[in-house]
Chain A
Amino acid sequence: MPSQLSVDYTKCTGCRICELACSAKNEGKFQPALARLKIVKYDDLGVDIPNVCGPCEEAPCVDVCPVYAMVRDPVSKMTYVNQDKCILCKSCVGVCVNGVIVLDTVRMRILKCDHCGGDPECAKACPTGAIRYASVGRIGLMGRHGKVTAYLREIRRVVTGH
């Protein structure tokens, strides 16, 4: 079974340590704008949703790439960018549903998560266990909108008095 990044929204505190750890490892500096994952924060609701790369059922970044620079591993379903082929049309950036494919406008290259070669930094750094790296079987079918649902359930629980 290939491993995947899985996310439990209910555990995420929104601290962005994962973004820091990702940029520290892959860029050698602290620059969340270049992290390969993204924490989307809803301060008004108290919800923080980590967006990590894949594996998507559909892979729009692969479908859209005009030069086949974006490729997909048939087993893990993870997608990878081949920098040598990439012509920087930026289509994948726009089409990514998670917004985690990033254009580095300084060095002009596409940044895309590669699971740190099998030992992802973000999962190691996350203090709450909101991001885990495990085989698909162990993850099960954690819903993408798990935290929102759990959150609404929590509100309902307190509203109706347990």
Chain B
Amino acid sequence: MKSNGYAGRILRVDLTDERIWTESLPREWIRDFIGGDGFAARVLYEEVGHDVDSLSPQNRLIVATGPVTGTLWPMSGRTVFVSKAAQTGIWGESHVGGFMGPELKYAGYDMLVVSGKAESPVVISILDDDADLLPADNLWGMTTAEVTAAIKKSRRDPDVQVAAVGPAGERLVRFASVIVNNARAAGRTGMGAVLGSKKVKAIAVRGHGAVEVARHDEFVQLATEAHMRVRSNPQAQQMHRWGTWILTAVKQSIGELPTYNHRTGVFDGWESLSGDHIRPRYTVSDRACFGCSLGCKKMNYVPDGPFAGTLEEGPEYEGLMAFGSSLGIADFATTLKANQICNRTGMDAISAGTTLSFAFEAFEQGLIDEKTTGGLRLQWGDGSAAVQLLEMIARREGLGDVLAEGTRRAAQRIGKGTEKLAIHVKGLEVSGQDGRTHRSIALSHATGARGADHLRSLVTVDQLGYREVAAKRWGADRLPEIIDPYTEKYKAAAVVETENTYCIRDTLIVCWYSVAWPPIFWIEDFARVLPLVTGIEQLGSVKELVRIAERQVTLKRLFNAREGIRREDDRLPDRFTKEPMPDGPGKGQLVNLDPMLDDYYRHRGWDVSTGLPTPETLRRLSLDWTARFA
């Protein structure tokens, strides 16, 4: 019998009781949520209530896949990690590329749900039908690279896929990440800390089974055409050559390259962080995730200078921003080294970099001094100080111990008005965008379920002025405002539509770059492929997909609402709403958030004064059942 895109089984691991079992995947979940984020939201909402602390055994860590995971569909190697976030205490999710998700599907599971807490360190080992907890005392303390190598060696199988936490996850650094394939990071919201709190050093997966789709031949043909679209897309070709570093020049030119802890959006040293500079000097090979014909990953090597000999994949644009412009560092080698430290110790590059720049700015303003920093002089552009402080965070040593709590908690601990330097939303550090020069991202950052988020909705159409695309999608009558990055008008409509599309993307699950920049696929394409995979005709309707997306966005909102999140929490740091952009193309710009929020809630069917979903909306989206767990 064909499996129609799903393995049909959920693997459950309870660490406290050392119990492992499987459950069958409820069919109605497919119809209501498709996969990925959706399944995980369903489980997390039901099983992790308000009384559960993120780092307690009662929290769940979910690894989920989607119906196209493991198939030929372009960029289908993604996996999502979901949990109540260690960093924010609200909805947490983190998507990662590489090869983990397909392997889990080949082993015969759509998702893995981990609960409880092991007495001493373990590896969750999955080999087709055999799932086991293996003692891992000898692996505790290892870097992610070491533990990955050790597991592959002891299994005598280079193809076993390892998702590992590093020393930072073990020490419960709030923004600890999970690293798969040595350098691909499920970075955000602290999934590594959740695994660390459960004493899980790694999840090792190997599968030999198959993923079958409902209409194989038609699917293969559509997937082949889709690959050709990726291969012939000009932006994709650029991205293959330059990786995401191509964004550095774009962002500088529109005045949105976060610099000096998001104080400004232009950076004099940007050229050292651009693709033109990096590729000929450092890049040694091009790589890709599973099933990806774009291939944005780059292996880099530093030939000389203080970080000579560093060989590492990455960093992405976000890493360049976080360890480069944001700290005033105009040196690629430093960002590569910092990125390597993050990968090996298992920390989120965005949060780590932003936390460093928070400390640097506090030092500049005299709010912390050499006594606090253990003798380090934190001056903009000082790469060696940045790297030392980064290592202190991973070890939770001195000031590093405070910063390991993330900017929000660190500012509370330090006091002295440092709160205004903590650039976060709901506790999650702001990524490499700036709402002042790009209003739709301001709204995305403010409303994202996991905090300041650039991946659940990032409208690029307005940012880059794609006039025709905007006219087609949102109507010519909304021009020019809808593509003007400096107005609040119509932005909610654009954000909602993009968020819905990305939501379906995150249920399939496919890579961000297939829908965002470059915009190769959109919701219509997902509607074409889903019936071929699942055999469910209903999923071929864009209207139905939009409804599923709305259901999911609202369910995540309900999860957060239970934790007390309301309209007043959908805020931005004062830097974006009260300090006009000081220079560059967006000079003088500020975010006026409230009108966009009003619009956004109306679009979503949420109450404008509270930001809570209305009873009618819950009925319309068949979410009445959530009341049972409220």
Interface set of A (CB-CB < 8 Å, partner B): 10, 13-17, 20-21, 23-24, 27-34, 40-41, 43-48, 105, 125, 127-128, 151, 154-155, 158-161
Partner of A24, one of B72, B281, B293: B72
B290 touches A16 (CB 8 A): yes
The distance in angstroms between the C-alpha atoms of A142 and B121, with both chains bound, is 47
Partner of B182, one of A43, A151, A160: A43
Give the number of residue pairs across the A-B interface with Cβ within 8 Å.
109
From B102, B284, B290, B295, residue with most partner A Cβ within 10 Å: B284
Chain A residues within an 8 Å CB radius of B301:
154-155, 158-159
Given contacts A15-B289, A30-B72, A127-B295, contact A46 B209 (CB under 8 A): no
Residue on A nearest B207 in the bound complex, by CB: A33
B284 touches A151 (CB 8 A): yes
The distance in angstroms between the C-alpha atoms of A154 and B286, with both chains bound, is 12
* Interface-side segment among B9-17, B133-141, B210-218: B210-218
B209 touches A13 (CB 8 A): no
The distance in angstroms between the C-alpha atoms of A28 and B285, with both chains bound, is 33
- Per the 8 Å Cβ criterion, residues 262-297 of B in contact with A are 281-282, 284-293, 295, 297
Q: Tell me if B405 is interfacial: C-beta within 8 Å of chain A.
A: no
Given contacts A14-B288, A128-B295, A151-B284, contact A43 B72 (CB under 8 A): no
What are the 10 tightest A-B residue pairs by CB atom distance, in nearest-first order? A46-B299, A127-B293, A31-B210, A13-B288, A15-B288, A33-B208, A158-B303, A13-B295, A29-B210, A43-B182
The distance in angstroms between the C-alpha atoms of A46 and B227, with both chains bound, is 23
Interface size class, chain B: 35 or more
Q: List 14 A-B contacts (CB under 8 A).
A: A13-B297, A15-B289, A16-B290, A16-B291, A17-B72, A24-B72, A24-B220, A31-B209, A40-B158, A43-B183, A44-B149, A46-B299, A125-B224, A158-B284
From B159, B207, B285, residue with most partner A Cβ within 10 Å: B285
A21 touches B72 (CB 8 A): yes
Given contacts A31-B106, A31-B209, A43-B181, contact A20 B216 (CB under 8 A): no
A20 touches B72 (CB 8 A): yes
Partner of B231, one of A28, A43, A127, A159: A127
Q: Tell me if B313 is interfacial: C-beta within 8 Å of chain A.
A: yes
The distance in angstroms between the C-alpha atoms of A44 and B301, with both chains bound, is 12
Chain A residues within an 8 Å CB radius of B131:
none
The distance in angstroms between the C-alpha atoms of A161 and B159, with both chains bound, is 35
Shortest CB-to-CB span from A162 to chain B, Å, is 9
Q: Residue-by-residue, is B180-192 near A (CB-CB < 8 Å gives 1, otherwise 0)?
A: 0111000000000
A15 touches B282 (CB 8 A): no
A33 touches B291 (CB 8 A): no
Shortest CB-to-CB span from B103 to chain A, Å, is 9
A46 touches B72 (CB 8 A): no
- Taking A13-B287, A30-B70, A46-B284 as known contacts, 9 extra A-B pairs with beta carbons closer than 8 A to each other, sorted by chain A number, are A13-B288, A13-B292, A17-B291, A28-B212, A30-B72, A31-B106, A127-B227, A155-B284, A158-B303
B304 touches A46 (CB 8 A): no
Chain A residues within an 8 Å CB radius of B304:
159, 161
Shortest CB-to-CB span from A49 to chain B, Å, is 11
Residue on A nearest B75 in the bound complex, by CB: A15
Chain B residues within an 8 Å CB radius of A45:
299, 311
Chain A residues within an 8 Å CB radius of B207:
33
Shortest CB-to-CB span from A45 to chain B, Å, is 7
Chain A residues within an 8 Å CB radius of B158:
40-41
Shortest CB-to-CB span from B333 to chain A, Å, is 11
Residue on B nearest A34 in the bound complex, by CB: B210
Chain A residues within an 8 Å CB radius of B72:
17, 20-21, 24, 30
Residue on A nearest B181 in the bound complex, by CB: A43
Chain B residues within an 8 Å CB radius of A23:
210
A13 touches B303 (CB 8 A): no
Q: Tell me if B145 is interfacial: C-beta within 8 Å of chain A.
A: yes
Residue on B nearest A14 in the bound complex, by CB: B287
The distance in angstroms between the C-alpha atoms of A32 and B106, with both chains bound, is 9
Q: Tell me if B355 is interfacial: C-beta within 8 Å of chain A.
A: no
Shortest CB-to-CB span from A67 to chain B, Å, is 27
Partner of B313, one of A16, A28, A46, A48: A46
Q: Tell me if B71 is interfacial: C-beta within 8 Å of chain A.
A: yes
Q: Residue-by-residue, is B313-324 near A (CB-CB < 8 Å gives 1, otherwise 0)?
A: 100000000000
Partner of A15, one of B209, B285, B293: B293
From A24, A43, A127, residue with most partner B Cβ within 10 Å: A43
Chain A residues within an 8 Å CB radius of B148:
43
From A21, A31, A105, residue with most partner B Cβ within 10 Å: A31
Q: Residue-by-residue, is B119-156 near A (CB-CB < 8 Å gives 1, otherwise 0)?
A: 00000000000000000000000000100110000000
Shortest CB-to-CB span from B329 to chain A, Å, is 20
Chain B residues within an 8 Å CB radius of A41:
158-159
B284 touches A125 (CB 8 A): no
The distance in angstroms between the C-alpha atoms of A53 and B124, with both chains bound, is 35
The distance in angstroms between the C-alpha atoms of A154 and B300, with both chains bound, is 11
A125 touches B181 (CB 8 A): no
Shortest CB-to-CB span from A116 to chain B, Å, is 14
Residue on B nearest A47 in the bound complex, by CB: B285
Chain B residues within an 8 Å CB radius of A34:
210
Shortest CB-to-CB span from B19 to chain A, Å, is 29
Partner of B71, one of A15, A20, A43: A20
Shortest CB-to-CB span from B214 to chain A, Å, is 12
A161 touches B70 (CB 8 A): no
Shortest CB-to-CB span from A43 to chain B, Å, is 4
B311 touches A29 (CB 8 A): no
